[in-house]
Amino acid sequence: MSVTDERVEAPAREFDPDRAWRVHPQVALRDESFGALAYHYGTRRLLFLKSRPLVDLVSALDRFESATAAIESLVPENERAQYTRALARLAKSEVIDAR
Amino acid sequence: MPAEVMPLRERFTQGLDAPICLTWELTYACNLACVHCLSSSGRRDPMELTPAEARHIVDELADMKVFYVNIGGGEPMLRPDFFDLVGYAVDNKVGVKFSTNGTRLTAERARRLAAMDYVDVQVSIDGALASTNDSVRGEGSFAAARTAMDNLAAANFGQFKISVVVTRENVTQLDQFAAIAESYGAQLRLTRFRPSGRGVETWDRLHPTAEQQRMLYHWLLERPDVLTGDSFFHLSALGAPLDGLNLCGAGRVVCLIDPVGDVYACPFVIDKEFLAGNVRGDGGFAAVWRQSDLFRSLREPQSAGACASCGSYDACQGGCMAAKFFTGLPLDGPDPECVFGHGEDALAARDAAAHPGAAIGHSKVDRHGTPIPVPTPVRFRTRALA
């Protein structure tokens, strides 16, 4: 049977990590063994957060003055670049938005 | 992405604690009698869920964080508590996408829908012209659907969807469907014709030919904005995968709740073979989803069977379970519409006695219990203002 009408996330574009971010108010996150599912009620898109640490980071964004500050606090140094890229993808697909 | 252990598709084939979305058919009652109806709808079932039971299902879905439900039928707008239920769902953050034949979508109801958040409307047509459409859906049904679309547009509903089941007769009208959608600022949604419900009887003459399927595949590749509900993943064996997850989600990430609360693996397998349980049982829907033997077995690794030696198995996964089941083909073999023709060979060789037919049906019958031929001209327009 068909699964969803949703699209897979698009490639990253500009993302300003020095701004303050949060989970988009129209997005619902559902924890899963692989990370989380994210559904955007505005764009009707289904997306995947493919690891637990990424879910924790995304959920914590609203407690930090910038995405960079959240990453520096929560992510080991050698993994920060890939998490920044992951956030950029999530910003592009509006799972997170600047506050 | 860090800590990637397993491709997402494999995670999904092993099932999730809750469906991503599910189909919920609210009633078997329908004022049309489409020849390909997946649920053989027509007559309301006396055992259909009460309004209170239906609301309880919404509570359960909200607890399980099911993002949205695809509401269908029958014709869901015939249920007296339709708006109440839809409102209750969206108030509880369960989004609603519902499919309708449009016959009850009056101007007033269109305005009501336009005022709601998280509601998507899909109006079904199966031909870009009245003649093509009405031969499948019944006389007058095209005009009624267009009126519903006009009403949605006039109510500034926004981007509704036009839903088309692709058949041998309408596959030549894809550009015309796209033009109709564009004229409304609507989205076109094409789905696969399965031999389910009354489709068992009409599939042989109405399913697209192999050549038409190849054309459809290329047409879809060029139009990623056309929605498909991921339903043509068997065509991905032709080359680049179509947009979507490209897997069978039945019992893994999706399922069907039917009007009497029976839970099936997917909307296209209303048959006791694929019945997982009933929401009226102990533990409700969640217990069926998480504990039923059927769903657990569907989440086990599936045998590729006769497809094991095909280099495209990873792309098509053997195709659609429902399409195989209702054409009498083994589940661990090629889809009847396998793009390499293996399904046609299997169909030619199948034992006609194994053809299961449609055992569960709510088609309209006359007073002698004899099924009324479909499609029947239905007198609904005079009642459309009700």
Reported confidence tier of residue B117, pLDDT bands at 50, 70, 90: confident
Q: What ipTM is given for this predicted complex?
A: 0.81
What is the C-alpha to C-alpha distance for residues B355 and B156, in angstroms, rounded to an integer? 47
SS in 3 state form for B66-118?
Answer: CCEEEEECCCHHHCCCHHHHHHHHHHCCCEEEEEECCCCCCHHHHHHHHCCCC
Asked if B215 has any chain A CB less than 8 Å from its own CB, the reply is: no
Instruction: Render pLDDT for B346-358 as a digit per residue (tens, 0 to 9).
Output: 888 876 555 666 6
Q: What angle do CA B258, B245, B170 make, to 5 degrees?
A: 70
Asked if B330 has any chain A CB less than 8 Å from its own CB, the reply is: no
Answer with the residue of higher pLDDT: B198 or B7: B198
Nearest CA in chain A to B247: A3
- Decide: helix, strand or coil at residue B134: helix
Verify whether the Cβ–Cβ distance A51 to B2 is below 8 Å.
Answer: yes
pTM above 0.95, yes or no: no
* Among B11, B224, B244, beta carbon nearest to A3: B244
pLDDT of residue B207: 97
For the residues B160-164, what does the mean pLDDT come to?
98
pLDDT of residue B381: 44
Residues of B within 8 A of A28 (CB-CB) are 65, 67, 93
Residues of B within 8 A of A50 (CB-CB) are 1, 4, 8
Asked if A52 has any chain B CB less than 8 Å from its own CB, the reply is: yes
- Decide: helix, strand or coil at residue B252: coil
What is the C-alpha to C-alpha distance for residues B310 and B374, in angstroms, rounded to an integer? 39
b or e along A46-82 (b: 16 or more beta carbons within 10 Å of the residue's beta carbon)? bbbbbbbbbbebbbebeebeebbebbeebbeeeeeee
* Among A3, A7, A52, beta carbon nearest to B249: A3
Q: How far is B374 from chain A (nearest CA, A)?
A: 25
Instruction: Render pLDDT for B319-343 as a digit per residue (tens, 0 to 9).
Output: 999 999 999 999 999 999 999 999 9
Asked if B229 has any chain A CB less than 8 Å from its own CB, the reply is: yes
| DSSP structure string for chain A | ----S--PPPPP----TTS-EEE-TTEEEEEETTEEEEEETTTTEEEEE-SHHHHHHHHHGGGSSSHHHHHHHHS-GGGHHHHHHHHHHHHHTTSEEE-
Asked if A40 has any chain B CB less than 8 Å from its own CB, the reply is: no
Asked if A54 has any chain B CB less than 8 Å from its own CB, the reply is: yes
* Among A3, A79, A83, beta carbon nearest to B254: A3
Verify whether the Cβ–Cβ distance A30 to B67 is below 8 Å.
Answer: yes
Instruction: Render pLDDT for B222-253 as a digit per residue (tens, 0 to 9).
Output: 999 999 988 999 999 999 999 887 889 999 99
Residues of A within 8 A of B224 (CB-CB) are 7
Share of chain B above pLDDT 90, in %: 81
User: pLDDT averaged over chain A?
Assistant: 87
